[in-house]
């Protein structure tokens, strides 16, 4: 397949990863159709050079409209959020299967050459994530299947659909299992934000209000790795252009506790906060990290942007958003 200028569709375009992906694709000279359920004024980034459409991709006809005359599709659309959201909205998360089913069918009908599906580390078996001192998860650890209930099951099922659409219909599919992608221009308040954005917001709120305390979900000793958006975008496009057909981890292997995550943000903000631990709050698995052996073997690369470097940029952006809301007298959504 020619890797020159392509007609590319990005779904979930009004969201965090989608917005950054479109920046990269436009920079490289591709024609981009950007599609999201939300009206344009609610997108995190809107790019005038793209063909921007508001469509409900749970509907088959909308998917046909989205992929018409496209050569590639990056399917990032999903109803999702951080742990607080996905633990309380399992049915909504599962309904994203409508998007993936109809997008795959429409792509085959339209003659799309390559189809990218954004999966998640939530597909991994929960019994392999029960210790904070976790062994990094390799791709085969998704089976026998006991993924995150709701969201994880939907992602794992959609991975299988991608595999079988490739086998049965010849649609070249690529699947990345994202590990906690974070950065600016994404959800940072309101209940759908993930841990890095939530911590950055809470620290910014403490700095702006002078109330130097922070609530942490769990005991703070649960472990995670966090992937900065620039690494996620590079890995996504590199995977799409590769011959790697199996699902692959796309995540940093820099493992930290949530307490260490807070330490870094406090250092960046120049503040030390009193910590209140909410042991009843949603906290997910005890430990999760990415084994990047397959990524290094097949792409010759793995995420390398340090957590400190990524959080500096993320905190700066979120502090600016929180400060602007405070100046306008707008209450921050919790």
Q: Which residues are catalytic?
A: 151
Strands 213-217 and 274-278: parallel
Element (H, E) at 134: none
Task: Identify which of 52, 51, 56 has the alpha carbon closest to the alpha carbon of residue 43.
Answer: 52
Q: Are 100 and 119 in contact (CB under 8 A)?
A: no
Question: 136: burial class by Cβ within 10 Å (0-12, 13-18, 19+)?
Answer: middle
Task: Identify which of 3, 73, 12, 13 has the alpha carbon closest to the alpha carbon of residue 49.
Answer: 13
Q: How far is CA 247 from CA 44, 135, 238, 292, in A?
A: 28, 19, 14, 12
Q: Output phi, psi for 133, to 5 deg.
A: -85, 65
**What is the C-alpha to C-alpha distance for residues 312 and 231, in angstroms, rounded to an integer?**
15
What DSSP line would sit under 79-100, residue for residue?
A: ---SHHHHTT-HHHHHTHHHHH
Pair of tokens at residue 223: 């472990």
């Amino acid at each position: 397949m020619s890797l020159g200028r392509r007609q590319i569709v990005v779904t979930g375009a009004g969201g965090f990863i989608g917005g950054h992906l479109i920046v990269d694709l436009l920079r490289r000279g591709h024609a981009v159709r950007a599609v999201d359920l939300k009206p344009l004024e609610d997108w995190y980034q809107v790019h005038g050079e793209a063909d921007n459409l508001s469509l409900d991709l749970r509907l088959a006809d909308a998917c046909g409209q989205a992929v018409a005359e496209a050569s590639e599709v990056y399917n990032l659309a999903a109803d999702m959020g951080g742990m607080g959201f996905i633990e309380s909205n399992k049915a909504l998360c599962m309904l994203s299967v409508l998007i993936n089913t109809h997008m795959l069918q429409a792509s085959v009908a339209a003659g799309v050459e390559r189809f990218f599906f954004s999966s998640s580390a939530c597909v991994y078996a929960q019994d392999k994530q029960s210790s904070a001192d976790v062994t990094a998860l390799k791709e085969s650890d998704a089976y026998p299947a006991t993924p995150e209930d709701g969201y994880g099951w939907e992602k794992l099922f959609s991975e299988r659909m991608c595999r079988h659409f490739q086998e049965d219909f010849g649609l070249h599919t690529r699947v990345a299992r994202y590990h906690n992608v974070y950065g600016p221009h994404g959800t940072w308040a309101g209940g759908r934000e993930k841990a890095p954005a939530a911590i950055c917001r809470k620290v910014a709120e403490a700095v702006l209000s002078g109330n130097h305390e922070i609530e942490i979900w769990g005991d703070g000793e649960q472990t995670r790795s966090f992937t900065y958006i620039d690494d996620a975008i590079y890995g996504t496009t590199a995977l799409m252009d590769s011959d790697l057909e199996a699902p692959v981890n796309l995540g940093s292997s820099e493992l930290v506790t949530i307490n260490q995550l807070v330490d870094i943000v406090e250092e960046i903000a120049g503040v030390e906060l009193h910590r209140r631990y909410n042991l009843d709050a949603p906290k997910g698995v005890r430990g999760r990290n990415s084994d990047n052996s397959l990524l290094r073997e097949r792409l010759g690369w793995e995420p390398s942007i340090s957590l400190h470097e990524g959080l500096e940029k993320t905190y700066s952006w979120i502090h600016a958003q929180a400060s602007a809301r405070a100046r306008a007298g707008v209450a921050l959504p919790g």
